């Protein structure tokens, strides 16, 4: 990380670095998909100054006929560009390998500031995980790290049977440096740096890997048209930005430099770049990847899996497991930007209830505030607290929004939030007096910064805003106190934090788009400096209106940290992350309950404290599909509490689109209907057809909540995904690797929505296995092939996988009511006529029930006894494996019924309840009345 203490009194300006080194270049060769662009942003912008003379003057090769890359590093890059061995290997105690590297003398400088001496270190963490790092000689790995704690195991030498082999090029002094990691069992390359391009400089770092397969997933948060990446030289920017999802490769709200590759034999591995600076990642058809970043270190963790779910578990074991959401937060939620008062909210809640549509949570966007100022109520929302208290009696929960930007000029009411922040020293400040614009607004009205050394911008409030620095302890204390005071006024149950990239409107332009027209134009104007205008500006800045990193956010020369130790340049991608933990802690302190936090900007480990929604999408069919891609990706990123704005945020939704979206949204882990100011209402009771489809889909969701809640228990404790792609369950199925229009809840429930307009015949894929229609229990006749299902507008396709038991509970209008209902289950038999499942149950809202063992954990199983090839008995079994003495309601409930799918013949008798048997080979056991807190068996005699 860049240390401000070294630079505080310096004026930092951009300096041109001219290095008169011209190497002998080769003629252009045929593009084999492994070209590393010397100046990728110039190529993307079709910059005419990037010609043969300019390219070759930098020691690069120019190909005027190149379709994707014209100016690129020599293909034998490891021989002419990069680093070479400079010292003997330090093998340590077997837990690490370290090399001293020297920059090659014939290597041109692409962006200046190259470090001549670099250290390369590989650290081993046993047989399934390793780390490799490049850093400047004389520095340390720690100096380059983001200020984010990781859960690292003690370094351990790998065994002779470890999953990986690391091969470093011969350490002959002067020899070119590269290395490769292979999977021991297959000798398959995991990554190989022989492609070249290694660069370690002050503000430009680059490395390229050859990959074993084109089946690449992850890398975010940005827009992707498919879950499996397009490998044809696509550059994906990673830089937190107030950017709605759209078309093309756009950087969105968070930073997640993690990817997974599915290898040819079905094994998977993952790679995580631990860096919080702006990053560009380019896919190569070879296949491969090129990373470019503007600071920090090249610090990579490699996870060997080998199963896809193993990779996610290993990754989340390092960054931290997801929080355990409150049970009610898995219910359906309604929001919108555009409520004019409490009465609008009341009308939505009433029409939803009258339509028989379940609802657990109601939101309020910034409309509820007094002129968009945090922790206030506007004049038409003064009765909101009474409404929230009234609705809480029946089980409806409430979540308001909070933005980080604080109004510093609020005049119509007393605003202690800002006063208290100033007393606490809570705000981000300018780097130094030299870089701070003049404070005299009478002399410099266009860009003055009048509040001491506090950096001011403009967002939603009707005054200049300051931005809390959540890296400071004092800021966290102030924020939690404000949350508690607000909760005393408005008894909320969860918190929604938005605009925390952080967003600042139209920075570096004359004025923000929403600036009061009767005021003299003013805006935050960032001075020209090496941090706001680095030599390599990144794709994010290149695509912005101002070509600056500070576009739509604050200046990179902000000063942050408990001891002013961070430049905003280095921790910009951590702003939302830094706000999330104190918000989660403040929520729990204010409410005394678990609650839930939803955040827009995220970073690896944000899932420990919050869920995420996929941002300000648009009401169009493409975004309906993209919501599945985003949900799958965030499950890879360790944030499984994820969903999109159902029916779309921007633009009026059509009735058919909203009907299909409500059906899909019923199976988002985070299921919320939300739309924008100026659009028509789209809560599901608006259209009768949408209300009907929503009621059906959401009732199924509520019935399945015990299964979904148990999936979150496993995610919280072991790191598994909640929503997962098909290839996670069928890693050797090549067809499954490209599927992103269908997905699983856990391992057992396959969800296949319609994603195109005017479609009632859905083409889908069923992996080779045993499958049952959720609605009828009928076994699918074919699998391992494409299928077509009749799917009318009011239906979403659901299939249960053989071999699994899904615990269910009778649905109700909210979870307060449904949690009082008895249980049922689906028992879906596999080809061995067996099935298993489990149930996690606690009171749904107490903090830390898992660590304090205040829960029940139950295992279910079904097996048959076979004699001479004939089933004579089937046993449905329940075993309570963790039993709490604290009351959580389970002691009053029963297992009331069970559906057994795939039973070959009707039982003659059962030892509990009664049954019937259908010709679809479904047995319905009912009136079982089995207790939920003690072991039991139901025996079927054939």
CB 701 within 8 A of CB 666: yes
CB 67 within 8 A of CB 55: no
Single out the residue in 273, 304, 335 at which a domain terminates: 304
Query: In sequence order, what are the beta bridge partners of 922?
Result: 901, 918
Closest CA to 418 of 384, 456, 366, 387: 456
Same-domain check for residues 153 and 213? yes
Alpha helix (H) residue ranges in 33-156: 40-44, 52-57, 77-80
Q: State the average pLDDT for the chain.
A: 94
Question: What's the burial of 785, exposed, middle or buried (CB within 10 Å: 0-12/13-18/19+)?
Answer: exposed
pLDDT at 26: 56
Instruction: State both tokens at 866.
Output: 């076979």
Beta strands 179-183 and 909-910, pairing class: unpaired
Residue 884's pLDDT band, with cuts at 50, 70 and 90, is confident
For residue 188, give every residue at least 6 positions away whose Cβ sits within 8 Å of its Cβ, in sequence order, or none.
Answer: 182, 212, 263, 264, 265, 267
Instruction: State both tokens at 861.
Output: 């199983």
Whether 704 is covered by a domain: the verdict is no
d(CA 343, CA 350): 10
Whether 722 is covered by a domain: the verdict is no
**Residue 694 confidence (pLDDT) above 90:** yes
Question: What's the burial of 68, exposed, middle or buried (CB within 10 Å: 0-12/13-18/19+)?
Answer: middle
What's the CATH code of the domain at 911? 2.60.40.1180
Question: Any idea what the Cα angle at residue 8 is, between residues 4 and 14, rounded to 5°?
Answer: 90
d(CA 359, CA 337): 18
For the stretch 12-65, pLDDT in tens is 333 333 333 334 445 678 899 999 999 999 999 999 999 999 999 988 999 999
Whether 182 is covered by a domain: the verdict is yes
Instruction: State both tokens at 74.
Output: 């020599």
pLDDT at 80: 66
Whether 787 is covered by a domain: the verdict is no
Instruction: State both tokens at 480.
Output: 């939690």
Same-domain check for residues 266 and 352? no
Q: How many domains does the chain have?
A: 3
Same-domain check for residues 236 and 384? no
pLDDT at 24: 43
pLDDT at 170: 81
Single out the residue in 613, 647, 667 at which a domain terminates: 613
Q: Is the pTM of this model over 0.85?
A: yes
Same-domain check for residues 397 and 503? yes
For residue 848, give every residue at least 6 positions away whose Cβ sits within 8 Å of its Cβ, in sequence order, or none.
Answer: none
Tokens 């020297």 locate to 102
Tokens 């090249």 locate to 298
Single out the residue in 613, 643, 662 at which a domain terminates: 613
What's the CATH code of the domain at 210? 2.60.40.1760
CB 554 within 8 A of CB 568: yes
For the stretch 258-315, pLDDT in tens is 999 999 999 999 999 999 999 999 999 999 999 999 999 999 999 999 999 999 999 9
For the stretch 712-733, pLDDT in tens is 999 999 999 999 999 999 999 9
**Residue 193 confidence (pLDDT) above 90:** yes
> What secondary structure does DSSP assign to 583-630, as a single string?
HHHHHHHHHSS---EEESS--TTGGGT-EEE--S-BSSHHHHHHHHHH
Residue 790's pLDDT band, with cuts at 50, 70 and 90, is very high
C-alpha torsion sign, points 786, 788, 794, 797: negative
Tokens 């060769």 locate to 29
Same-domain check for residues 362 and 216? no
**Residue 767 confidence (pLDDT) above 90:** yes
d(CA 519, CA 334): 37
Whether 513 is covered by a domain: the verdict is yes
Same-domain check for residues 143 and 253? yes
Instruction: State both tokens at 893.
Output: 């409930």
> What is the rounded (10 degree) CA torsion for 490, 493, 497, 498?
-80
CA 887 remoteness from chain centre: 35
Question: Any idea what the Cα angle at residue 185 is, between residues 180 and 188, rounded to 5°?
Answer: 40
- Give the residue numbers spanning the domain of 526: 327-613
In the predicted model, what is the mean pLDDT of residues 774-782?
97
What's the CATH code of the domain at 382? 3.20.20.80
For residue 200, give every residue at least 6 positions away whose Cβ sits within 8 Å of its Cβ, in sequence order, or none.
Answer: 83, 103, 114, 115, 118, 134, 135, 136, 298
What size, in residues, is the chain?
942
CA 163 remoteness from chain centre: 28
Same-domain check for residues 223 and 349? no
Whether 625 is covered by a domain: the verdict is no
Closest CA to 584 of 373, 324, 398, 385: 324
Instruction: State both tokens at 457.
Output: 């911008």
Instruction: State both tokens at 685.
Output: 């009771």
For the stretch 476-512, pLDDT in tens is 999 999 999 999 999 999 999 999 999 999 999 999 9
For the stretch 920-935, pLDDT in tens is 999 999 999 999 999 9
Same-domain check for residues 419 and 523? yes
CB 73 within 8 A of CB 106: no
Whether 533 is covered by a domain: the verdict is yes
Alpha helix (H) residue ranges in 320-472: 342-354, 384-392, 416-424
pLDDT at 107: 79
Q: Which strand (E) or helix (H) includes residue 927?
A: strand 922-931
d(CA 829, CA 837): 11
Instruction: State both tokens at 698.
Output: 């959401």
In the predicted model, what is the mean pLDDT of residues 199-227?
97
Same-domain check for residues 237 and 104? yes
Whether 502 is covered by a domain: the verdict is yes
In the predicted model, what is the mean pLDDT of residues 442-455?
95
Same-domain check for residues 551 and 466? yes
Side-chain-side CA neighbours of residue 880 (13 Å): 16
**Lowest model confidence (mean pLDDT) among 12-16, 773-777, 782-786:** 12-16
Phi, psi of 529 (to 5 degrees): -160, 170
For the stretch 62-79, pLDDT in tens is 999 999 999 999 876 445
**Residue 626 confidence (pLDDT) above 90:** yes
Tokens 């430009």 locate to 204
Same-domain check for residues 379 and 420? yes
CB 601 within 8 A of CB 613: no
For the stretch 812-863, pLDDT in tens is 999 999 999 999 999 999 999 999 999 999 999 999 999 999 999 999 999 9
Closest CA to 401 of 425, 427, 377: 377
Omega of the bond leading into 287 within 30 degrees of 0 (cis):
yes
d(CA 166, CA 697): 50
**Residue 9 confidence (pLDDT) above 80:** no
> What secondary structure does DSSP assign to 448-493, as a single string?
---STTB-EE-SSSSS-EE-B-TTSHHHHHHHHHHHHHHHHHS--S
Same-domain check for residues 400 and 482? yes
């Amino acid at each position: 990380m860049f240390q401000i203490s070294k630079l505080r009194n310096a004026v930092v300006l951009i300096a041109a670095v001219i290095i008169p080194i011209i190497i002998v270049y080769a003629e252009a060769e045929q593009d084999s998909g492994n070209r590393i662009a010397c100046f990728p942003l110039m190529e993307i912008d079709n910059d005419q100054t990037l010609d043969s003379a300019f390219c070759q003057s930098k020691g690069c090769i120019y190909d005027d006929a190149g379709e994707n890359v014209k100016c690129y590093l020599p293909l034998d890059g490891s021989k002419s560009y990069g680093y070479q061995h400079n010292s003997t290997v330090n093998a340590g105690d077997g837990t690490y390998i370290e090399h001293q590297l020297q920059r090659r003398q014939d290597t041109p400088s692409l962006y200046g500031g190259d470090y001549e001496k670099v250290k390369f270190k590989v650290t081993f963490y046993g047989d399934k995980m390793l780390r490799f790092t490049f850093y400047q000689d004389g520095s340390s790995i720690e100096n380059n790290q983001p200020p984010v704690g990781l859960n690292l195991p003690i370094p351990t030498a790998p065994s002779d049977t470890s999953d990986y082999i690391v091969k470093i090029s011969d350490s002959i002094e002067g020899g070119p440096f590269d290395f490769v990691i292979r999977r021991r069992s297959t000798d398959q390359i995991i990554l190989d740096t022989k492609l070249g391009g290694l660069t370690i400089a002050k503000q430009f770092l680059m490395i390229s890997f050859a990959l074993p397969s084109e089946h690449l997933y992850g890398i975010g948060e940005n827009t992707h048209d498919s879950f499996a990446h397009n490998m044809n030289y696509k550059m994906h920017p990673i830089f937190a930005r107030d950017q709605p999802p759209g078309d093309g490769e756009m950087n969105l709200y968070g930073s997640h430099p993690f990817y997974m590759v599915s290898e040819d034999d079905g094994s998977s591995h993952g790679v995580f770049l631990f860096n919080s600076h702006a990053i560009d990642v380019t896919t190569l058809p070879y296949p491969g990847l090129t990373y470019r970043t503007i600071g920090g270190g090249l610090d990579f963790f490699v996870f060997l899996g080998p199963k896809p779910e193993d990779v996610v578990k290993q990754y989340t074991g390092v960054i931290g497991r997801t929080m355990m959401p409150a049970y009610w937060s898995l219910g359906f939620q309604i929001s919108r930007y555009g409520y004019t008062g409490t009465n609008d909210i009341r009308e939505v809640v009433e029409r939803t209830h009258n339509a028989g549509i379940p609802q657990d949570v109601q939101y309020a966007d910034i409309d509820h505030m007094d002129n968009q100022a945090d922790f206030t109520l506007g004049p038409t929302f003064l009765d909101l607290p009474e409404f929230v208290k009234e609705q809480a009696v029946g089980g409806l929960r409430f979540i308001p929004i909070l933005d980080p930007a604080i109004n510093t000029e609020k005049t119509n009411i007393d605003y202690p939030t800002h006063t208290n922040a100033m007393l606490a020293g809570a705000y981000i400040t300018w780097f130094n007096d030299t870089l701070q614009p003049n404070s005299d607004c009478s002399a410099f009205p266009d860009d003055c910064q009048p509040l001491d050394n506090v950096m001011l911008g403009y967002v939603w409030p009707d005054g200049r805003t300051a931005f809390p620095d959540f890296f400071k302890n004092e800021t966290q204390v102030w924020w939690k106190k404000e949350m508690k005071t607000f909760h005393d006024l408005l008894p909320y149950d969860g918190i929604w934090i938005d605009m925390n990239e952080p967003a600042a409107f139209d920075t570096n332009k004359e004025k923000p788009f929403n600036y009061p027209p009767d005021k003299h134009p003013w805006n935050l104007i960032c001075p020209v400096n090496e941090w706001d205008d680095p030599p390599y500006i990144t794709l994010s800045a290149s695509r912005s209106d101002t070509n600056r990193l500070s576009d739509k956010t604050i200046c990179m020369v902000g000063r942050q940290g408990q001891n002013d130790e961070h430049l905003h340049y280095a921790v910009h991608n951590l702003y939302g992350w830094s706000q999330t933990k104190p918000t989660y802690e403040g929520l729990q302190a204010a409410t005394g309950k678990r609650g839930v936090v939803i955040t827009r900007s995220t970073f690896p480990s944000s899932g420990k404290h919050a869920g995420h929604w996929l941002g300000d999408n648009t009401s169009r069919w493409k975004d309906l599909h993209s919501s599945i891609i985003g949900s799958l990706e965030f499950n890879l990123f360790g944030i499984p509490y994820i969903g999109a704005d159902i029916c779309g945020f921007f633009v009026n939704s059509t009735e058919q689109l909203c009907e299909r979206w409500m059906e899909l949204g019923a199976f988002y882990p985070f299921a919320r209907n939300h739309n924008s100011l100026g659009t028509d209402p789209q809560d599901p009771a608006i259209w009768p057809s949408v209300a009907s489809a929503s009621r059906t889909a959401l009732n199924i969701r509520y019935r399945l909540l015990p299964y979904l809640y148990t999936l979150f228990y496993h995610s919280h404790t072991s790191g598994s995904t909640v929503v997962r792609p098909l290839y996670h369950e069928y890693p050797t199925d090549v067809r499954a690797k490209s599927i992103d229009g269908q997905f699983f809840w856990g391992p057992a429930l396959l969800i296949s929505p319609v994603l195109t307009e005017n479609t009632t015949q859905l083409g889908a894929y069923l992996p080779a296995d045993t499958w049952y229609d959720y609605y009828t229990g009928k076994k699918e006749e074919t699998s391992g092939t494409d299928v077509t299902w009749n799917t009318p507008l009011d239906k979403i396709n659901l299939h249960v996988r053989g071999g699994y038991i899904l615990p269910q509970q009778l649905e109700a209008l909210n979870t307060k009511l449904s949690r009082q209902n008895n249980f049922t289950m689906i028992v879906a038999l596999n080809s061995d006529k067996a099935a298993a499942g489990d149930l996690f149950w606690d009171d749904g809202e107490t903090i830390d029930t898992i660590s304090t063992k205040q829960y029940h954990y139950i295992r279910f199983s079904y097996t048959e006894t076979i004699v001479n090839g004939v089933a004579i008995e089937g046993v449905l079994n329940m075993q309570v494996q963790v039993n709490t003495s604290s009351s959580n309601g389970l002691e009053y409930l029963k297992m009331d019924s069970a559906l057994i799918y795939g039973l070959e013949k009707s039982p003659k008798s059962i030892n509990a309840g009664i049954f019937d048997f259908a010709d679809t080979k479904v047995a319905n056991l009912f009136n079982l009345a089995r207790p939920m807190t003690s072991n039991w068996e139901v025996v079927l005699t054939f």
